[in-house]
Amino acid sequence: MPSARFIQYGLGPIGIGIAALAVQQGHRLVAAVDIDPAKAGQPAAAFIPQAPADVLVTADASQVLNAGADIVLHSTQSRLALVLPQLLPLIDAGLAVISTCEELAFPWHHHPVEAASLDVLARSRGVGVVGLGVNPGFVMDLLPVVLSAPCRDIRQITVVRVVDVGLRRLPLQQKVGVGLTVEAFRRGVSEGRIGHVGLPQSAAMVAHALGWALNQIEESIEPVIDSSRTVRGVHQVCRGTYTNAHQITLDLTMTAGAERPRDEIVIEATPPIRATLEGGIHGDQATYAILVNAIPRVLAAPPGLLLPTYLPAVPPDRRG
């Protein structure tokens, strides 16, 4: 695999994991950005194992635009509105971008103007920009789309994902409300602090692949509680409706101690498909690998705002 020169933008736990894997796979870190005062000014190697000793973390992203990078690995926030001001100067400087921003995975439905702006800018600068991750970006959208290749007359696509957050990072447990009262959970949901971001984007991405113009995308977010009415986590259901007979249902449970963690994909079609991934694809390691494995594929892709579904499994310029 050819190696790339990359900028790590965002040194939270996910960003650090991505950068560490990229370095381990032979890509070269040329700059690192984080606004945390405890990180800015420090050597990147203090956070990213094996990072080059001469790279210092900077809080000022404008300073890295000419660092000679091919691509930016970006991991800051979930919401497109917060991420867009970070991405535009990078793209304008001719840098490809792979981001964990959940709303970037498929922004055309909920943010069509922003999506078109990103697309036009990325095309004019000749670079690819894409939002990737396990969810959205893989298990509830790309994977069902790939699995639908042998199908005709697709009627329903249902994905059930069960994640046990009990053994995961504390921030993830907090994000799904573990230990809260129901009232505090609901307040957190209304304030946007609690809940998983990305199910509507996944539903829209699947619909786009099928050529379905969805009439409605609705989402519910409910607490999962134990016998003492303490919140154990979240249950979210997102349904995208094309017709009454053509629906996409994404059912996500993330709780501490969830029974039988798994991903299930059911496609009602001819022939029907029923796929189960016991244990489920989760863990931060999966996110790191999805981003880093995508580097050569994004660099080889046609320019523009890309979708996870646009990236071939293998870059087509790599001849047999």
| CB nearer to a copy of itself: pick between 46 and 314 | 314
Q: From its phi and psi, is residue 66 left (phi > 0), alpha (psi between -120 and 50) or beta?
A: alpha
CA 25, distance to chain mean position in Å, is 21
Tell the smallest beta-carbon distance from residue 106 to a copy of itself (Å): 7
Strand partners, 268: 156
Query: In whole angstroms, how far apart are CA 152 and each of 28, 205, 290?
Result: 44, 18, 29
Instruction: Pick the closer one to a copy of itself by CB: 18 or 51.
Output: 18
**Residue 247 carries which DSSP code?**
E
- Among 80, 15, 22, 91, CA closest to 51: 22
| 4 touching a copy of itself, by CB under 8 A | no
> Strands (DSSP E) along the chain, which ranges?
5-9, 28-33, 57-58, 71-74, 96-99, 128-131, 152-164, 216-225, 231-243, 246-255, 262-270, 273-278, 304-305
| DSSP H or E stretch at residue 147 | helix 142-147
Site string for a copy of itself, 33-72 (x = CB under 8 A): ----------------------------------------
Nearer to a copy of itself, 37 or 271 (CB): 271
Query: Under the criterion CB under 8 A, does residue 258 sit at the interface with a copy of itself?
Result: no
CA distance 127 to 37: 31
In the shown chain, the binding pattern of residues 275 to 294 toward a copy of itself, with x for contact by CB under 8 A and - for none, equals: xxxxx-xxx-xxxxxx-xxx
320 counts as binding a copy of itself under rule CB under 8 A: yes
Q: Is residue 260 close enough to count as binding a copy of itself by CB under 8 A?
A: no
**Contact between 121 and a copy of itself per CB under 8 A:** no
Residue 121: how many other CB atoms lie within 10 Å? 18
| CB of residue 35 to a copy of itself, shortest distance in Å | 28
Q: Does 106 bind a copy of itself (CB under 8 A)?
A: yes
Q: Tell me which of 38, 53, 149, 245 binds a copy of itself, using CB under 8 A.
A: 149
Which letter does DSSP use for residue 56 in this model? B
Taking CB under 8 A as the binding criterion, the range among 78-86, 157-165, 175-183, 312-320 that sits at the site for a copy of itself is 312-320
User: By CB under 8 A, how many residues form the interface with a copy of itself?
Assistant: 63
Instruction: Single out the residue of 108, 216, 227, 238 in contact with a copy of itself (rule: CB under 8 A).
Output: 108
The residue range among 41-49, 59-67, 71-79, 264-272 that interacts with a copy of itself, by the rule CB under 8 A, is: 264-272
Count other C-beta atoms under 10 Å from residue 63's C-beta: 12
Binding stretches for a copy of itself (CB under 8 A): 1, 21, 25, 106-109, 112, 115, 119, 134, 138, 142-143, 145-147, 149-152, 208-209, 211, 270-279, 281-283, 285-290, 292-294, 301-302, 304-307, 309-314, 316-320
